[in-house]
Amino acid sequence: MPVIAVVNRKGGSGKSTLAAHIAAWCARNGSSVMLGDVDRQQSARAWLKRREASLPIIAPWAVDQKNMLRVPTGITHVVLDTPGGMHGFELARVVMFADAIVMPVCHSIFDRESAQACHAELMTMPRVASGRCRLAVVGMRIDARTQAAQVLAEWSESLGVPFLGALRETQLYVRSLERGLTIFDLKPQLAAADLAQWAPILQWLKPQLYPPQAANDGADALRPVARTLAPQKMVSRHLGSLPGSLMPAQESMVQGGRLSALSAGRPATAPVQPAGKPTLVRPARSTDDRQIPEFLKRSG
Ligand SMILES: Nc1ncnc2c1ncn2[C@@H]1O[C@H](COP(=O)(O)OP(=O)(O)O)[C@@H](O)[C@H]1O
Ligand SMILES: [Mg+2]
């Protein structure tokens, strides 16, 4: 089960915005996705409450009576929104389960310095340092008329982290989120410029989220990342610095996700949902539901 976490110490950097959009994209793609809100502010959960039932379904946290968070039966993808200031054990337990971490970074030097400290801590964790949990940066609220994207791209390159491009500042995000929407839920012509900015982000995420599909996309299954990212100018500069870029895909294909593997007596992989309109199987009440131990337990 692929797990994508959105992480940055800095509050207001765009974590909840990115997490909601990644989850909505998965849902639009026909996946049964859960948007987990590790953030006590519960922005993502509040956003889900505003989301109309007619839209592609995104499952919220499922909390049982013992306050244990569970992955509902049938969920195939998990996106984690995380709080600002997360570090130490809290960060480590998210990294333990994440296949990929997307780090939104705004343009100021303060944002870069904060993100750099977060990156340094992440690199002390073997899963990140070895490339088993992949890391990428997305520029947030970037004015295309300035050099901000270039500055961020170069900063990201200096850290050896792929820069997936920048999202502009627009009220479209603010207004969409207020209504429980994302730009993926709008008519494409209303958000064409923003959807175009998402293309390289989604291209990078695709091999993490849909490993077998991504591996079958090209004739050469051993080079899906390089093939798909090559047209992206800014990303391609970093291809050489993607350690073990095929690892999450291979790992998921062979073993299934760690979340699934952790549930004793359950199959290693979640059932694959057919393409088309997403169907979300609601959590069963039985005691053998898949459980995520430790890191999904609420701490307060
Ligand atoms: N690209 C954007 N354009 C305009 N506003 C944005 C954009 N991205 C995020 N925002 C706004 O910035 C604020 C902070 O974003 P949020 O995703 O809540 O950050 P975090 O979760 O890191 O605290 C929110 O009000 C959000 O609507
Ligand atoms: Mg948030």
CATH number of the domain residue 142 falls in: 3.40.50.300
CA distance 114 to 146: 21
Q: Which of 13, 17, 140 to mutate to test the pocket of ligand 1 (most atoms within 8 A of CB)?
A: 17
Structural domain includes residue 271:
no
Residue 75 has pLDDT above 70, yes or no: yes
Residue 78 has pLDDT above 80, yes or no: yes
pLDDT on residue 251? 31
CA distance 203 to 284: 34
pLDDT tens digit sequence for 113-146 = 999 999 999 999 999 999 999 999 999 999 978 8
Taking the centre of ligand 2 as the mean of its atom positions, its distance from the CA of residue 203, in whole angstroms, is 24
Q: Which of 40, 111, 173, 183 to mutate to test the pocket of ligand 1 (most atoms within 8 A of CB)?
A: 173
Taking the centre of ligand 1 as the mean of its atom positions, its distance from the CA of residue 11, in whole angstroms, is 9
CA distance 190 to 21: 16
Q: Which two tokens stand for residue 223?
A: 């080079």
Taking the centre of ligand 2 as the mean of its atom positions, its distance from the CA of residue 39, in whole angstroms, is 7
Contact 82 CB / ligand 1 (< 6 Å): no
| Ion ligand 2 — residues with CB < 5 Å | 15-16, 43
Structural domain includes residue 278:
no
How many separate domains does the chain show?
A: 1
| Total-model pTM | 0.76
Structural domain includes residue 82:
yes
Is the four-CA dihedral 255, 259, 264, 267 of positive or negative sign? negative
Contact 76 CB / ligand 1 (< 6 Å): no
Structural domain includes residue 296:
no
CA distance 17 to 226: 27
pLDDT tens digit sequence for 151-182 = 999 999 999 999 999 999 999 999 999 999 99
Residue 263 has pLDDT above 50, yes or no: no
* Ramachandran quadrant class, 202 (left: phi over 0; alpha: psi -120 to 50; beta: rest): alpha
Structural domain includes residue 256:
yes
Q: What mean pLDDT is reported for the chain? A: 76
pLDDT on residue 255? 31
CA distance 18 to 34: 14
Instruction: Report H helices in the chain.
Output: 15-28, 43-50, 88-95, 109-123, 126-129, 148-159, 171-178, 192-209, 211-217, 224-229, 233-236, 247-255, 258-262
Q: Identify the domain containing residue 247 by its residue range.
A: 3-263
Average the pLDDT over each of 79-93, 111-125, 234-248, 268-282 and give the range with the smallest value: 234-248
Structural domain includes residue 275:
no
pLDDT on residue 144? 79
Q: How much of the chain exceeds pLDDT 70, in percent?
A: 67
Structural domain includes residue 294:
no
Ligand nearest to the CA of 42: 2
Structural domain includes residue 111:
yes
